[in-house]
Amino acid sequence: METGSSFWMPAQASTFAGDVDDLYFFIYWLCVFFFLVIAGGTVLFAWKYRRRRPDQLASAQITHNTLIEAAWTIIPTIICIGIFAWSFKVYMGLQVAPADAAEYKVVGKQWAWEFTEPDGCQTYGELHVQADKPVKLLMRSEDVIHSFYVPDFRIKQDVIPGRYTGLWFQAPKANAQGHQVFCTEYCGTSHSDMLAKVIVHTAEEMEKKAWCETKADAATGEKLYKALCAACHTTDGNRLVGPSFKALFGRDEKLTGGATVKVDENYIVESIRNPMAKVVDTYPPAMPPFPQLKDKEIDAIIMYLKTLK
């Protein structure tokens, strides 16, 4: 468990996580209190005024009590107005990003998250932000409705095709492990694999931006695989939406239409750039192209695929 997390709630890792939790627990305990009063009162009265003899008439025929009726109207009204005012304040805090927030672009698609930093650096499955600085996310979907949810930050927003939606947050503390991101709108077969992390950096790390230099090595390839391909391709031989990458490199692949192709570097590049050109036999033409991947990133993926014996 992360620091600050409890049995009830995940860590409070954004500036407004505390406010959201305070409001939540206020409403929660208010409900517990009234549940006990009402359910307890019902049980108590059912017992206290029970019929004791078969010929017993109902006790006093009370038609109304102005004082009690006024009280149970006015008190809940005041409580509801109070909850509305409090929620409105917290909600506006969540909705309105400060003017100096760093603007990141977020794209959700089946089944990965892509991020573009204000300076154009692109990352996949990892959102890198600076500690104690406001961050604004401008989000869109390339296919169906997704939803961007960071429990540690207490933020969640639908990501919709054909229109931008926004979110903002400020994470006070650096966190190298990262805060988990989930997709919370059911979006197809690998919905539950549509994961990412928000990694919060110190100012010095943000200056260096080590994650922005792409190295053409197998480790980088593995990271890209996990962020972009793992929802459809396994490495253990199991069939998912697409074929497994286990022992893919060098094998002879049967294509729809009957032709056979040897899996080499050029076939892999073509599979990534133009997946419809050659479709593997028994699989649907369901792979999206990845025009955003740089040549170096594809080199890294190929190096990683070669390690999967």
* Residues of this chain that bind ligand HEC (CB under 6 A): 110, 228-229, 231-233, 241-243, 248, 253, 263, 268, 271-272, 275, 279-280, 283-288, 290, 301
Residues of this chain, 136-195, that bind Cu ion according to CB under 5 A: 146, 183, 187, 194
Reply yes or no: is the peptide bond before residue 47 cis, omega within 30 of 0: no
Q: Which of 303, 231, 232 is nearest to 268 (CA)?
A: 303
Closest separation in Å from C-beta 284 to ligand HEC: 6
- Contact criterion met (CB below 8 Å) for 131 and 120: no
Closest separation in Å from C-beta 233 to Cu ion: 17
Taking the CA atoms of 110, 112, 115 and 121 in sequence, report the sign of the dihedral they define: negative
What does the alpha-carbon distance between residue 237 and residue 230 come to, in Å, rounded to a whole number?
A: 12
Closest separation in Å from C-beta 175 to Cu ion: 24
Closest to Cu ion by CB, 155 or 194: 194
What does the alpha-carbon distance between residue 209 and residue 230 come to, in Å, rounded to a whole number?
A: 25
φ, ψ of residue 46 to 5 degrees: the values are -60, -35
Closest to ligand HEC by CB, 65 or 292: 292
Interface with Cu ion (CB under 5 A), residue total 4
Mask for 193-212, x = binds Cu ion (CB under 5 A): -x------------------
Closest to ligand HEC by CB, 94 or 232: 232
φ, ψ of residue 193 to 5 degrees: the values are -95, 5
Per-residue tokens: 249:
């490199």
Closest to Cu ion by CB, 194 or 280: 194
- Contact criterion met (CB below 8 Å) for 167 and 181: no
Contacts (Cβ under 8 Å, ≥6 apart) of 9? 21
Q: Give the one entry of Cu ion, ligand HEC, none that residue 232 binds, where binding means its C-beta sits below a cut-off of 5 to 8 angstroms depending on kind.
A: ligand HEC
Closest separation in Å from C-beta 151 to ligand HEC: 24
Q: Give the one entry of Cu ion, ligand HEC, none that residue 188 binds, where binding means its C-beta sits below a cut-off of 5 to 8 angstroms depending on kind.
A: none
Residues of this chain that bind Cu ion (CB under 5 A): 146, 183, 187, 194
